[in-house]
Amino acid sequence: MLIAHGPAGYLLTRVLARTVFKRIVLPVRSNRMYQAMIAAGMFGGILPDFDFIYHIFIDSDRTPHHSYFTHFPLFWMALLGIALLAGRWQRFRKAMPVMVILCLSALLHLICDTLTGTVYWLAPLNSAGFNVFKVADVNIWWVNNYMYHWTFLIEIGIVITAGVIFLRVQETTLYIIDHFRQHEKLRQTAIRLGVCTFGLLVIVLVGSLQFNIDNKIVRKVKELKHRVVRMAISS
- The pLDDT tens digits for 175-204 are 777 777 787 877 788 888 888 888 888 888
Please tell me the pTM assigned to this model: 0.74
How crowded is the C-beta side of 122, counted as CA atoms within 13 Å?
6
108 exposure class (CB count in 10 Å sphere: 0-12, 13-18, 19+): buried
**Residue 130 forms beta bridges with which residues?**
119
Per-residue model confidence as pLDDT tens digits over 166-183: 888 777 777 777 777 787
Report phi then psi at 129, rounded to 5. -100, 150
Please state the separation of Cα 85 from the chain's center in Å.
Answer: 33
Contact call for residues 69 and 77 (beta carbons, < 8 A): no
pLDDT tens for each residue of 83-140: 999 888 878 888 899 999 999 999 999 999 999 999 999 999 998 999 999 988 888 8
Are the CB atoms for 3 and 143 separated by under 8 Å? no
Dihedral of alpha carbons 27, 28, 33, 38, sign: positive
What is the residue extent of each domain of the chain?
5-167, 184-234
Distance CA 10, CA 30 (A): 15
Check residues 65 and 37 and name the one with the higher pLDDT: 37
